[in-house]
Structure 1
Amino acid sequence: MQHAKRVAKNTGILYVQMAITVVLSLYTTRLVLAALGAEDFGIFNVVGGAIAMLTFLNSAMASASQRFMSYATGEGNLDKLKKIFNISFKLHVVIAFILVIVLEIVGYFLFHGILEIETNRIDVAKLIYQFLIVSTFFTVVSVPYDAVINAHENMFLVAVLRIAETMLKLVIAVYITYATGDKLFVYGMLMAALSITLLVFRQVYCHKKYEEVAINFSKYSDKKLFRQMTGFAGWSFLGTSTSMIANYGQTIIINSFFGTKVNAAQGVAVQVSGQLSAFATVMLKALNPVLAKSEGAGNRGLMLKASMLGSKISFFLLMLFFVPVLIEMPYIFDFWLKVVPEYTIVFCTLLLIRKLVEQLFFTLESSIAAVGNIKQFQMYRSILNVFPLIVTYFFYNAGYPPQTIYIIFIGYSILLALITLFYAKRDCGLSISYFMKNVFLRCVLSFGMAFVFSAIPLYFLEQGFTRFISVVVLSFVFFVLTVGLVGLESNERTMFKNIIVSFIKKTKANHG
């Protein structure tokens, strides 16, 4: 119960942050698209868009370091925490330098025969790529600091930094709207500068706040722990980097066959999907330290229970926003954007479906990482990550439309889910039959029922604001009904009721 309250509190903090940042981020995207135009927005998505992938790389790599820190916290070992931080810092400095070299080599080939960019825009695209490389270095070096913040479950700091970042991005968007000169260059430079500034702030904060953040390589060394962390970080990095390559590879392959205007549609779809998915992602950020600490304390049963409940709740959080958006997507895009790039709606629809499939199994991946035996899982996952790009290339050569890549990646997500289930059973002791019956089936039925009933206004009303509001209201009503009656088991309903009652009592006591 104490774990549940802590997760609920941290999740609540992050949701306040998300309520602010989602609206601002979506409005910022509208401003940037209008200021740059579809062509330059597409170029930024191809070249500078990789900066966005660094957020994914950073969080995934931080989770590897966080696993050891949370595990040691569960053991109550401060000296081990200091050793873990120092080893993690050394590892990530090496990784940062390697990545810079690799990106410089890759950049040569990207700009000499792979990317389809207009000749008059190639120079600014190269400059944006260099901004990306500088951001990459600082992002990777700061991974141990992000791991410390997450291991301490300091979600208030995470929320404050995220709100500050979003507001500064809005300032940048407003600035380039009225700026003279090359707006794409200015936007790329300011975005890189913003990421570096925020990462440096995290480092300074951690050195002042947390006792284990003390760099002394000679004093805090441990060869056995170094081998364990190197192996774990290496396999984690393999899975993370191939996943990043697969995601960025989608941008490259779309650009090669269809040009930057289709990349603009992809950029908008990714932005919408990312913002809507963030409500579920922040819950996992609050949950992951609990999984590792539970495993570190030797309580595997609690770890699995928290993992399966996390799968449900994160899926339901996606469902809350995805149902009305999937039903009324054409109206939403027409209202939101001045000009909707072609293929945006079909890209976004398929991407949201893929997110729903993946969300059911994300916490199981965290459980596998908490146990620590990740070598085979990451090996097979890495091979699977690049496979869809190869398949897509042959389909595009055969003349298939741009949305084909998203259909193929949905199939990839299903295969990855099966692999995750296998290793969760083998390494964590997960009961697949229990998971399928009490997590997967309940989630799918809840979503299907809520979607069907929420779509009723489409048969009686014309597209417009009245129908949109009707869909939103119905989707919320049927979300509550289906999740409460179908999605949750009786003990889970009781637990949530107790958490809410406890939260209300505490709030009244604080204001009494």
Structure 2
Amino acid sequence: MLLLEGAGFFLFNGVLEIPENRLYAAKVIFQCMVLSTFFGILSVPYNAVINAHENMFLVAVLGVLEALIKLGIALYVTNTSFDKLISYGSLMAVMAIILLLIRRVYCHLKYNEVTINVKKYFDRSLFKEMGSFAGWSFLGSSSSMIANYGQGIVLNMFFGPRVNAAQGIANQVSGQLSAFSTTMLSALNPGIAKSEGAGKRGSMLKMTAMGSKMSFFLLSFMCIPVLIEMPYILGLWLKDVPAYAVVFCRLLLIKNLIEQLSIPVSTSIKAVGNIRDFQIASSILTFFPLIISFGFFFLGYPPYFLYVVFIGYAILNSGLIFKYGNKYCGLALWSFIKNVVLRCVFSFLAVLLLSLIPQLVLDEDGIRLLIVTGSSGLFFIIIVYVIGFNKQEKNWLNMLLKSFAISLKEKLSIVKI
């Protein structure tokens, strides 16, 4: 909080370009962000306990509750006569506090180990190991946070708040489309950690490869029709679509797709626990996109070059993760690239190209959006099954579908009786 407050002093005194009549609202929003970050950090141990117990039911309930609260905030902000920006920021901070309190009360009541008892749990060697891990993790997470917030600051410095509006829309679209893959990874992460903890390295690597593939395919399924019909979708959603919003959204989704391939590998490296060199290298690499983007903007390049640079960063960072996955986890690089990366990329490109066909013969409207969505879903199922999965994965998928069909048939027969 001290670091953020110190940064805020400089940001609001000469760095950010904010209209004078909105400066107070911007400062209030910044304080709400600091408060939300504080309570977000406090909730980390409770999230860890929930994930360790694989309590996906609570994760789902909290996810639904968060969505309902956000809907309520949106309805309130739409109808209130009070400053809408201040209302939004304040209520989002309150939501972070409410969710923390629910997690805290639930964990203290449900799990015996969730208690503050220094004498009982004090273990110098364990604290030292956990402190080292937490310290290096903090280096990685803080550098990522600076890079993420830095994007908006750099764009604001060169192009003003209008371009920040386009960036905000891109982040909203990206966040919503990534929800399914993020939830799947949340359910997968405890399994990766437990497999490594039990000494089952081979099982962990299989889960890692399958997780990379499935998270990519889940996001691809959601992204492909949106990538194609982005101008029409944003036109339906927004009264006035900001300049660069469409290109920002498309480039950010491509960046996210690239990152999906390496996220489970990063989880595996953390499960092994030897993260110092990985976090140092990753943190150094994280700052380069901002520096390069600053240079491009200084030379007069358009704002979308920020995301072009970050796509390049996503590719380099994935390569770095694969390298350390090979070093610390025994990840077979060529096998992973051939079975996961290439299969995912070729499947995505094939579905994308086939789904573009309706654009060649139909005008932009709701009918074309429905046709693109339906055809991309059909192409996706066929191509991902043929290209995306290897023989072993197809056998596993066939067994899963067969058992599901038998179960469904039994339930239908019971209903008939």
Asked if Structure 1 and Structure 2 have the same fold, meaning a TM-score greater than 0.5 normalized by the shorter chain, the answer is: yes
Q: Which residue of 2 aligns with 1:16?
A: none
Say whether 1:176 aligns with 2:64. Answer: no
Say whether 1:125 aligns with 2:26. Answer: yes
Say whether 1:330 aligns with 2:231. Answer: yes
Q: Percent same amino acid at aligned positions?
A: 54
Q: Which of 102, 116, 132 is 1:215 aligned to?
A: 116
1:451 to 1:173, Cα distance in 2 relative to 1, 3 A = same
- Report which structure shows greater RCO (CA 8 Å, sep ≥6): 1
Distance 2:10 2:407 in 1: 59
- Note the alpha carbon deviations across 1:199-258, whole angstroms, 9 max, x for none: 111100000011211210121111111111111111111111101110110011001111
Distance 2:60 2:25 in 1: 33
Distance 1:425 1:458 in 2: 42
Say whether 1:441 aligns with 2:349. Answer: no
Alignment length, in residue pairs?
Answer: 413
Distance 1:389 1:340 in 2: 26
Distance 2:34 2:224 in 1: 38
Distance 1:308 1:462 in 2: 40
Q: Which residue of 1 aligns with 2:59?
A: 158
- The residue type paired with residue 56 of structure 2 is M
Say whether 1:369 aligns with 2:270. Answer: yes
- Note the alpha carbon deviations across 1:448-496, whole angstroms, 9 max, x for none: 1111111111111111122111111110111011110000012112212
Distance 1:468 1:105 in 2: 47
- The residue type paired with residue 151 of structure 1 is A
Q: Residue 141 of structure 1: CA displacement?
A: 1.4
The residue matched to 2:121 in structure 1 has which SS?
coil
Q: Which residue of 2 aligns with 1:108?
A: 9
- The residue type paired with residue 331 of structure 2 is L
- Note the alpha carbon deviations across 1:21-78, whole angstroms, 9 max, x for none: xxxxxxxxxxxxxxxxxxxxxxxxxxxxxxxxxxxxxxxxxxxxxxxxxxxxxxxxxx
Distance 1:470 1:427 in 2: 46
Q: Which of 142, 147, 152 is 1:241 aligned to?
A: 142
1:286 to 1:500, Cα distance in 2 relative to 1, 3 A = farther
Q: Which of 159, 163, 168 is 1:262 aligned to?
A: 163
Distance 2:237 2:340 in 1: 35
- The residue type paired with residue 140 of structure 1 is I
Question: Comparing 340-349 with 170-179, which one deviates more in the overlay?
Answer: 170-179
Q: With structure 1 as the length reference, what TM-score do the two structures score?
A: 0.79
* Correspondence 1:464-475 to 2 at 5 A: 464-475=365-376
- Note the alpha carbon deviations across 1:94-116, whole angstroms, 9 max, x for none: xxxxxx11111111111111111
Distance 2:100 2:400 in 1: 34
Say whether 1:301 aligns with 2:190. Answer: no
Distance 1:358 1:425 in 2: 17
Mark the runs of 5 or more structure 1 residues left unpaired by the alignment: 1-99
- The residue type paired with residue 260 of structure 1 is P
The residue matched to 2:26 in structure 1 has which SS?
helix
Q: Which residue of 1 aligns with 2:182?
A: 281
* Correspondence 1:441-460 to 2 at 5 A: 441-460=342-361
Say whether 1:424 aligns with 2:325. Answer: yes
* Correspondence 1:184-199 to 2 at 5 A: 184-199=85-100
Q: Which residue of 2 aligns with 1:40?
A: none
Q: With structure 2 as the length reference, what TM-score do the two structures score?
A: 0.96
Distance 2:39 2:265 in 1: 30
Q: CA RMSD in A?
A: 1.4
Distance 1:416 1:494 in 2: 33
The residue matched to 1:218 in structure 2 has which SS?
helix
